[in-house]
Structure 1
């Protein structure tokens, strides 16, 4: 059985969609907090089991018969290490042959503030004795394209990444990579640094957006604190604004860049281009 945690999240659903192309639905377990949100998966023959990262007993029930487990990182920033440890411990008790984890690009050396919890989780996975695959995902294109319409309305794209290169890829690209790993044969320990094929600066993102929208869209580079305040002003929770501003600043130092091409090789096709991502967004 292949067990996917966070299965009704944006990434989890895409992983299952790709898995279903190669794996019988009866061999897939979708672990969710609210089974009602997974009725469509159940209709496809996927096993739906309720569990919560904060409830070890529920994880034991959900992981029964697990051969491979995909731990999709929690979005509860600040509490993720303990939650992830619960999942790791449950995978150990289930004697899973493989534990895959969605980490962050270059987690061991990253300047990203959010990398700390990923590093601690990776250390816990290594200490567990399980065979593991670390899927060190780079930035999602959607992190930027989701805000492009707003940028056009305000007449500028703002950020704090300066001229740092961002090797972002679509969420679907990362999901397919996870599905490839889970559907592969004999589990072996692997660390994948996953990122888009072609990196871009935020100035280039603004230029591509303006080109497709038929109007000029300048990029305004701000200091980290100034950008954080702007994000709070437009309604983002302070903890998310902190994370995004820190990530942009870290990107200016190269934290979101990778040119290994590993993701494209793993999924057997080019990753989504910036132009296509902008087109889909607009």
Structure 2
């Protein structure tokens, strides 16, 4: 199979590495508007060829759209305009608007809307590595709008990446993503801004940072080019989650200000229940 990857960042490049090494793809064609990324992916052996969009689509059996969601909203209809029997899948973190954009497209059944739940705070082809997706979940949304052939191809692809597949509609996906992914990044970024503001006046504060701080603030290193569009496209759900999150912060603040040790202990104990979910 010939796979064309549009967008040679962390996700697209990591997929390319394992799809080739594990035998799903015989040839990987890369497309990226960033010439430095394209050249790096070629030099690193992540892709076999770099092509322009039209040629890369024409030669592919499967096209993976691994660009930021705002770019994907523009590109996806154009990709579907150019295909014949090829299958197309995206890997965007928000699905509602993207699926709506192509709902009436004549090639809609050739498209599978997916979100592999994996990643790091790093970006670009040099950040890519084998095994990024192993053991993780991937979401396929609005599967009823895709053909059986397209679904089976994408299912086989994700099985090759050792991912478990979950099906849901785009609306539910965007709500869940806001709670388990998007708010985590905002929390990390807000903490980073808080510490950086303090650092202006107390230069040694970061010398005290330990593993807990590092793990909590790690996501603040994620690129704005990827995350700003995600927050914009899922703004309604993200705003709802933020309201709830701020509510809990205010509850913690009041308990601490009031020196209410009983309430503080209860809040911590309640939060510890997340272990039941994470340790399943």
The two structures have a TM-score, normalised by structure 2, of 0.45
Q: Point out the structure with max Rg over C-alpha.
A: 2
Answer 1 or 2: higher relative contact order, Cα 8 Å, separation at least 6.
Answer: 1
Determine which structure has the larger helix proportion and give its number. Answer: 2
The two structures have a TM-score, normalised by structure 1, of 0.45
